[in-house]
Structure 1
């Protein structure tokens, strides 16, 4: 592809293709999947789109300093094809730091929607506004949360921390029917399957609006491939039915890179999605890869909870397995990288480190909920298992990889980084304070699913005090809402971090309002970050 970096002023020269011949015009919407931006930097930005229905899938792009695209500062040509599912990525360079830009594509006689993006700041930076989001199940609800993100007045970036799609076919939740049919109507396994599932999501107007609003910083979790995945398999992968794991993984990763506004991978590091992003002299955002580079298989109660000679469960033995120093989620290479990024951030005088984690970092066990167990049904046994007061579904998170989590805590302490963890995955909303044997290490806010179903609904705990008991039982947990659906707004200044959990009133209704359900604030202290203060 060729790109002209020269500054072009005036709409007359903006694209050079203002009037294409009628026969070049497509018969269907060319840009039905919208536009997006990502990989923000002070002087450049990656721009994304997809073209549909063109015999010759070529076109042009432009970027300008105004919403009307009159003051054009960059433009170029693009070409795509079936080998990348007709997706397009271009890099606009020569941009100014901390500046809003607007961009557009043109092909087949049609123009795309206009997207807005913003470059990263350099030097003195006094505030930062991020939307933290994850877990979007297209079939189970509507994307009202994305619309609410798009309508934010102040938004520098979106941190999407994982589960952009789900691999499931029909709903597997008892009593909870799908509100929209997914495509394909089966589990995604092949390259075509993953491409179709991503295309369906990207055709949604609310998701398109969120992408058009601000640059995205993206990380995958497990459902972009299969539930509870790790290097060599997944809970939701059956080789007898789904075929070779490596082939499925390669297909899902290829489709993800095609459809997301991120750089294509280095062939030598195909899972190198980890990122470090500098927001001027205010903060460094560090996001490790937690699934495919180093993760070992998750522990489970069914497989790994042994029995003592008298038949009782060996709880101490299970806890020793959790604490095994050999267990890996991100691997030592990434921990060394993370530690280096933290040290460099502190050395540069930045008051904050934001640590993006696909899963909840807080240590917690499930409280005893047996007294609320249903009289019968599939969840009765689950409620009874909570008597053990062990990590359960969160064994897939950091509660199942305790020794490596401690190595991250050690890196935080060694660097002196004032750290805020931004996480997701659990389908619950959390406000947490992270501890080790020496005391508080960092604070964490964890967002719930954008769409639902929440974990409280799935576990049939809607009418129980599960969230309250979870907070009472676990030192790290200050607040938990197991029914929450929505996203988190993070407002960072030099003095404090302020978070707001924005809840969707009814994600399964065609229309819904949103409201701020919970606020939390922590301030910068000389030796770290204060405890959270909260308000509802």
Structure 2
């Protein structure tokens, strides 16, 4: 039958990187319908955020009921809390819940169920309460998908000797495919354009979270996240970003809203009320330490250009600055640890700051913070920093700083290198020895390697242990310990340790790799295709279908209007096994509601579409 819309000019763009991909060449059918795995985050002494994402390409409704439970054992017998809620299309089918009624300093296992299928089980841990001898964290930042494999995440997953992962930002990157890339064949960004719309950001998160190393790390440990700039756009601030052009990319306020909404949808973080950008918060680990997670990007930052001594310029914003100083002034914790994005210690050569995106560009506010700490006699300040893809250990100097006597410092800063992102060019090839000569407060640098920091906190000292992977261009090429630096209780300067600190705790067994219902999902989904999403929706002209094929297969795309009339049809003779992105041009269709039916040999999927004119 000749279609009524045969006059349509139809373009189909297929992106397939499955031939040599790792690990996306095969999708584990056991994960259905929770292909993005599970995650937990923001642990308190009595609660923790649990997260998952539901994917079912046969569902016709806009929501699905999700049941959750949390237990002290992997068999999910000793249930301590459970409940249900809904994953909804408006939140990109993500689901998270604040599981309460938990005991302090305790490991738990959890899972989700929908439509009779169980997710894989996750493992998480609550924060301690009251007297506490130790805490231990893996600290990471700057994970650019196109710059290599997430070997750091895999090695961390296997350590089993820390309580939580602190991610200091640049969890994703906004650039288009090839825009900021090492050119690794099977590590292309999706969507291929620079991400701007809500749907763009959602697809990019989905793309990252299908990485097996990231998914597995989330499964086994709670995360404590803050964003940096690349979760929105490079060098972002309140009113804009270096990598945002209003003339071609629209209002910055819209893009910022899109970026932050997707962030809260896809990460296991306690979310504020809709429209509230506040991400700064505190998490207590008993009376041993308080962790203050800060936002030096979107909450209050002035544009980078301008005088660093201008009292009107801010990196935190007055509201956050007041919150932080008040919290520090009233803290009863032994250690006060700040998790934030950009280097707080000065970095100068011949008296000139090298990077005004750091606190160096906001010296007036930095001095106010230093003065508040010094005037109020606040001790045991430790700052954790990411952003610059290199490793540093810094004393945080006042004007009377003296390295030889360990005086005139308000604390110690540990800067963690990147998971994959390359070293920054602003150093201009300056050697680490030259930097340390002009900056005597800098105790350690590594300007080239990728890796992570293990932060060990005890009553007597805090130690930062630096580990690096051999390579990120290939999978699992080895790792090594480099150096460790500690700061003693009551002191404010870093000293080199003789070796790495070892954990004094033994976490329980890992959460199993398979769901509790074992192989029940295999038969139905081993040879089927899976649609992860249709973006954007609503749409104007183009719709992209994110689909995974278990085998090479031909697919047919049929679009029906609300009267059931077929208005668009196209068959693609053979798509390649793996993850594919298919772009359909539906511009000539009238505005309204449609059903897109995707058919394979033994499976079909139906998706609702809404077209704007």
C-alpha distance 272-175 of structure 1, shift in aligned 2 (>3 A): closer
User: Could you tell me how far apart the structure 2 residues matched to 1:452 and 1:496 are?
Assistant: 31
Q: CA deviation at 1:177?
A: 5.4
Matching residue of 2:244: 237
- The 5-angstrom pairing of residues 92-103 of structure 1 reads 92-103=99-110
SS at match of 1:502: strand
Asked if 1:429 corresponds to 2:436, the answer is no
Q: CA deviation at 1:179?
A: 5.1
C-alpha distance 326-176 of structure 1, shift in aligned 2 (>3 A): same
Q: Is the 8 A contact 2:225 2:269 kept in 1?
A: yes
SS at match of 2:392: strand
Matching residue of 1:529: 492
Q: CA deviation at 1:436?
A: 1.3
Q: RMSD value over aligned CA atoms?
A: 2.0
Q: CA deviation at 1:476?
A: 2.8
Matching residue of 2:339: 356
Aligned counterpart for 2:442 among listed residues 477, 492, 503: 477
Greater C-alpha Rg: 2
SS at match of 1:193: helix
Asked if 1:44 corresponds to 2:7, the answer is no
Aligned counterpart for 1:324 among listed residues 295, 302, 310: 310
Q: CA deviation at 1:389?
A: 5.9
Asked if 1:450 corresponds to 2:412, the answer is no
Matching residue of 2:549: none
- The 5-angstrom pairing of residues 26-45 of structure 1 reads 29-45=32-48
SS at match of 1:90: strand
Task: Name stretches of at least 5 consecutive residues in structure 2 with no aligned partner.
Answer: 1-28, 401-407, 500-613
Asked if 1:405 corresponds to 2:370, the answer is no
Q: Is the 8 A contact 2:456 2:462 kept in 1?
A: yes
Matching residue of 1:111: 118
Q: Which of 1 and 2 has higher RCO (CA within 8 Å, sep 6+)? A: 2
Asked if 1:490 corresponds to 2:455, the answer is yes
Aligned counterpart for 1:292 among listed residues 291, 295, 298: 298
C-alpha distance 465-232 of structure 1, shift in aligned 2 (>3 A): closer
User: Could you tell me how far apart the structure 2 residues matched to 1:84 and 1:441 are?
Assistant: 43
User: Could you tell me how far apart the structure 1 residues matched to 2:105 and 2:31 are?
Assistant: 37
Aligned counterpart for 1:53 among listed residues 49, 52, 56: 56
Q: CA deviation at 1:79?
A: 1.0
Aligned counterpart for 1:160 among listed residues 146, 157, 167: 167
User: Could you tell me how far apart the structure 2 residues matched to 1:273 and 1:362 are?
Assistant: 23
C-alpha distance 243-178 of structure 1, shift in aligned 2 (>3 A): farther
User: Could you tell me how far apart the structure 2 residues matched to 1:159 and 1:499 are?
Assistant: 13
User: Could you tell me how far apart the structure 1 residues matched to 2:49 and 2:31 are?
Assistant: 26
Q: CA deviation at 1:391?
A: 2.5
Q: Is the 8 A contact 1:431 1:479 kept in 2?
A: yes
Q: Is the 8 A contact 2:106 2:125 kept in 1?
A: yes
Matching residue of 1:283: 289
C-alpha distance 88-173 of structure 1, shift in aligned 2 (>3 A): closer
C-alpha distance 342-415 of structure 1, shift in aligned 2 (>3 A): farther
SS at match of 1:291: coil
- TM-score by length of structure 2 reads 0.72
Task: Name stretches of at least 5 consecutive residues in structure 1 with no aligned partner.
Answer: 1-25, 305-320, 368-387
Asked if 1:213 corresponds to 2:175, the answer is no
Q: CA deviation at 1:273?
A: 0.3
- TM-score by length of structure 1 reads 0.82
C-alpha distance 436-146 of structure 1, shift in aligned 2 (>3 A): same
- Compare the two structures and name the one with the higher strand fraction: 2
Q: Is the 8 A contact 1:141 1:178 kept in 2?
A: no
Asked if 1:417 corresponds to 2:379, the answer is yes
Q: CA deviation at 1:532?
A: 2.2
- Count of residues in Structure 1 that have an aligned counterpart in Structure 2: 459
Q: CA deviation at 1:531?
A: 3.2
Asked if 1:124 corresponds to 2:131, the answer is yes
- Compare the two structures and name the one with the higher helix fraction: 1
Q: CA deviation at 1:274?
A: 0.4
Q: CA deviation at 1:215?
A: 1.3
Moved more, 496-505 or 145-154: 145-154
Q: Is the 8 A contact 1:325 1:404 kept in 2?
A: yes
